[in-house]
Structure formats: C-alpha cells, structure tokens
Amino acid sequence: MPVLVMKFGGTSVANLDRIRRAAKRVGVEVAKGYDVIVIVSAMSGKTNEMVGWVNETSPLYDAREYDAVVSSGENVTAGLMALTLQEMDVPARSWQGWQVPLITNSAHSAARIEEIPTDNINAKFGEGMRVAVVAGFQGVSPEGRITTLGRGGSDTTAVAFAAAFDAERCDIYTDVDGVYTTDPRIADKARKLDKIAFEEMLELASLGAKVLQTRSVELAMRYNVKLRVLSSFEEQSDEAGTLVCAEEEIMESNVVNGIAYSRDEAKMTLISVADRPGIAASIFGSLSDAGVNVDMIIQNISEEGRTDMTFSCPTDQVARAEKAMAESKDSGEINFHDLVADIDVAKVSAVGIGMRSQSGVAAKMFKTLCDEGINIKVIATSEIKISVLIDRKYMELAVQSLHDAFELDKAA
C-alpha cells in the first residue's frame, strides 16, 4: 500500500481533544488506503518546560543529559496517539527513536540522521498495522545514548521517514494554514503562498520563519520529497496549505517572496584580534566545537596586525560562545582585547528566487529601512536573500515596511 507521512506539531497535539482531532485526520487517510507513518511532537509547551529545567539546573549542560530529558515529551504524545487510533479501531502502535531505531551521529542536541531501517515498521504494516506512530525529534547514537535533532527536529524526522519509506507525500500539520509572505502576527497584509520553492523555504526557515525546520527542507530538496504545510485546525482538501516544491513547478513568482525575521539573535564582536593566517579557522572552529551556531560573520580591515571580528548567533548561545572564546584566549590560541555581546538585535531578511535575475533589490531594501530611520548594523547576502541586523525595537516596523515596499500582499 502507498505510504503517507503525516507530522503533527506541538499545538496540533496540545491536549487529548487535539490528539483526537489529529487522529481523525489520520483515519481519513487510512480509509483512502494509505499506510500512514505519523510523526508527533511533544504537547506544546512541554519541551520548553524541560529545556527551562535543564538550563536552570546546569547552564552549560551535558548535551547527552539534555537530550535524555527533552526527548521525553514526544514519547508521551506517541503513546497517546497510538491509543487514540486504537480506540477508533485503526491498528496502530508507537515507536520511540531507539526502537525504530532511528540512528543518528553523536552530535547531541543537533544530531544528524544516519539511517532509518524500514524492516521493523514494514513488517508490522505487513501484519495489518495501518499506522506507525513515531516520536519525532529523537534518535539514538551509535553509543546507545538518546540524541535529539535540534528544535523543530520533528519536521526533519518526518521528511527522513518520507524519504526512507518512499512516501507519496509528507504532510506537515501545524497551527498555521501554510507559508506566508511574512509573519501575519507582525504584518496583517501577509499573504498565504500556494507554492514556494525549496530554496526560498530554506532561506525562510533558516531565517526564523518557524513553519519548518531548515534541515527538513534541505532533506526534502535532496530526496525530492513532496512536502505540504497545512493547518490541523481546519477541514482539509488535497490542495490545502502550501506545497513546498522544486523551482520548476512554480510558474510565476515575485522578485521577493517573503520577509523573514529572527528575534533572538546576538551580535558578538571580538575587539582587536591579533590577525594571522588561520585566525578565522581558530575562532570559528572553537565556537563550532562548543556547539555555537554562528550565522553572519564580518571581518573589518586589518590594521597593524589587529582586526575586529563580528559574528551573530542565537542569544541563548552567548554564554557558550563567551566561555569558548575565554578558553581560547587563556590557552593562547586566540589573542583579542575584548568580546562584546549585543543581545538587543534582530535579523530581518528579504527572500526570493527572483533576485537571481533582477537587480536593485538590495538598494530598495536599504532605502526602505533608511526612510524609516532604521540603522543597519550588519549586512549579509546570498543569491536569493538579503539579511540585515538591526536594533530589535525596530524589527516589526522593518518587516512591515519591507512587506509594503516589495508589494508582497499582491500575487505575481
């Protein structure tokens, strides 16, 4: 039988009523003849609660223990979903990551999936089970410790299962009815997109549009998984939501297709770094070893052998970055005067595959921000996006004015 993957996020399984509602959606697909793999997140709020406990217990925590703690919410939802389906007479059982086993590398808290053997679950499908409910977000390392895939990792779990089981589609049920040109909570003119290219979704996801985890989109692109984002709170047709697909499948597109933002960025500046060949590798190697996800990097022109190095990272990794830099300074590996953290910044980005063939997008973006009196602190660009760091207090204003300037409320 054809396989369908359905993923339900935290708000879609926030309580028993919502789990029942989600289970009914699963039942509809089972009735159509699909064998279904359901990937569930933890009930909304649960993972945050546990992350809070871990941070309070141990600010520089052992990531192996972090993973053991924060993965537990998904186990609860998986069991409850299986029970709910059984009550509806749909043969179902739950799998935790280590039971599949979903094997990852040992990069705790941000592990990468290495293998998903399909035999166990396929054997059960063969015995008449119709739904495999899998706890998202988690796996098991070669050492037999529990790993997690990073926040939002259940999306990646879903896409990886869709690829491994050659699923017809991977439906991501969430609390929004699709992908928007920007966050509707910030700009009320935000418009839902019917289709979006993998590349654009990738930039939006990595820039903080929290609809899909970045890696899930990468994975979908690599394995060409048909990915659909839709709401678990509305009755759904087969055309609902937003289809994330290859660029070729999209006929017309605006130059800019979305304005993304990320609120929890920090701008870190290493003042007066002793410049030498390989210094960047030393700095960012040591940050990477400490588990800091560096985003933007800027190096000023070197003067008299010393330079300033600026980078951005999530605010909750500032302590980690400071510790790593202090250790590198103490060990003599990196010589710098000071490390200054500016945690009151936000990132705003314009994204669109149309940028490739159209010039003037950056100029229009900078002028729009300038007209609003917003100072740009850092600029970074890629082929299909332009990002700026600005004071956090201007974030909403920046998103709204850019959305207006690029006329994103109008379809192409």
Structure tokens at 154: 């259940």
Q: Is the Cα dihedral 399, 405, 406, 409 positive or negative?
A: positive
Only segment of 63-71, 206-214, 238-246, 335-343 that touches a copy of itself (CB under 8 A) = 63-71
Closest contact distance (angstroms) between CB of 263 and a copy of itself is 27
- Site for a copy of itself contains 96 (CB under 8 A): yes
> Can you name the residues that pair with 38 across neighbouring β-strands?
6, 133
Residue selected from 21, 44, 50, 299 as contacting a copy of itself according to rule CB under 8 A: 50
Residue selected from 12, 84, 213, 262 as contacting a copy of itself according to rule CB under 8 A: 84
Closest contact distance (angstroms) between CB of 77 and a copy of itself is 9
143 versus 238: smaller Cβ distance to a copy of itself? 143
- Site for a copy of itself contains 144 (CB under 8 A): yes
Residue selected from 21, 44, 65, 319 as contacting a copy of itself according to rule CB under 8 A: 65
- 134: three-class secondary structure by DSSP: strand
* Residue 307 marked as a ligand binder: no
Task: Determine the Cα–Cα distance for residues 374 and 57; give it in Å rounded to an integer.
Answer: 39
- Site for a copy of itself contains 290 (CB under 8 A): no
Task: Determine the Cα–Cα distance for residues 235 and 240; give it in Å rounded to an integer.
Answer: 9
Q: How many residues bind a copy of itself (CB under 8 A)?
A: 36
Structure tokens at 114: 């290495």
* Residue 364 marked as a ligand binder: no
Only segment of 83-91, 198-206, 212-220, 302-310 that touches a copy of itself (CB under 8 A) = 83-91
- Site for a copy of itself contains 298 (CB under 8 A): no
Question: Restricting to residues 145-174, which ones interact with a copy of itself according to CB under 8 A?
Answer: 145-146
- Site for a copy of itself contains 316 (CB under 8 A): no
Structure tokens at 137: 């977000």
Q: Is residue 267 within a helix (H) or strand (E), and if so which, with residue range?
A: strand 258-274
What count of residues does the chain have? 412
Structure tokens at 268: 């870190």
Parallel, antiparallel or unpaired: strands 227-231 and 258-274: unpaired
| Residue whose structure tokens are 């207006």 | 404
Q: Is residue 180 within a helix (H) or strand (E), and if so which, with residue range?
A: strand 179-180
Residue selected from 28, 32, 57, 370 as contacting a copy of itself according to rule CB under 8 A: 57
* Residue 210 marked as a ligand binder: yes
Q: Which amino acid belongs to residue 194?
A: D
Closest contact distance (angstroms) between CB of 76 and a copy of itself is 5
Structure tokens at 187: 């700009």
- Site for a copy of itself contains 62 (CB under 8 A): yes
Catalogue the E-assigned strands of 1-59: 3-8, 35-40
91 versus 354: smaller Cβ distance to a copy of itself? 91
Task: Determine the Cα–Cα distance for residues 150 and 139; give it in Å rounded to an integer.
Answer: 11
Closest contact distance (angstroms) between CB of 73 and a copy of itself is 8
- Site for a copy of itself contains 61 (CB under 8 A): yes
Residue selected from 1, 16, 31, 370 as contacting a copy of itself according to rule CB under 8 A: 16
Closest contact distance (angstroms) between CB of 56 and a copy of itself is 6
Residue selected from 3, 6, 36, 80 as contacting a copy of itself according to rule CB under 8 A: 80
Task: Determine the Cα–Cα distance for residues 232 and 251; give it in Å rounded to an integer.
Answer: 28
* Residue 47 marked as a ligand binder: yes
Closest contact distance (angstroms) between CB of 231 and a copy of itself is 23
Q: What share of the chain is helix, strand, coil (3-state, %, to 5)?
A: 40, 25, 35
Closest contact distance (angstroms) between CB of 281 and a copy of itself is 31
Closest contact distance (angstroms) between CB of 373 and a copy of itself is 44
Closest Cα partner for 157 from 256, 73, 38? 38
- Site for a copy of itself contains 228 (CB under 8 A): no
Only segment of 26-34, 49-57, 173-181, 205-213 that touches a copy of itself (CB under 8 A) = 49-57
Structure tokens at 214: 């970045």
Closest Cα partner for 271 from 341, 338, 324? 338
Q: Is the Cα dihedral 221, 171, 410, 208 positive or negative?
A: negative
DSSP state of 293: -
| Residue whose structure tokens are 């609660």 | 49
Q: Which residues participate in the annotated binding site?
A: 7-10, 47, 74, 174-175, 180, 185, 210-211
- Interacting residue ranges for a copy of itself, rule: CB under 8 A: 16, 19, 50, 53-54, 56-58, 61-62, 64-66, 68-69, 71-73, 75-76, 78-80, 82-84, 86-87, 93-94, 96, 98-99, 144-146
Q: Which residues participate in the annotated binding site for substrate?
A: 47, 74
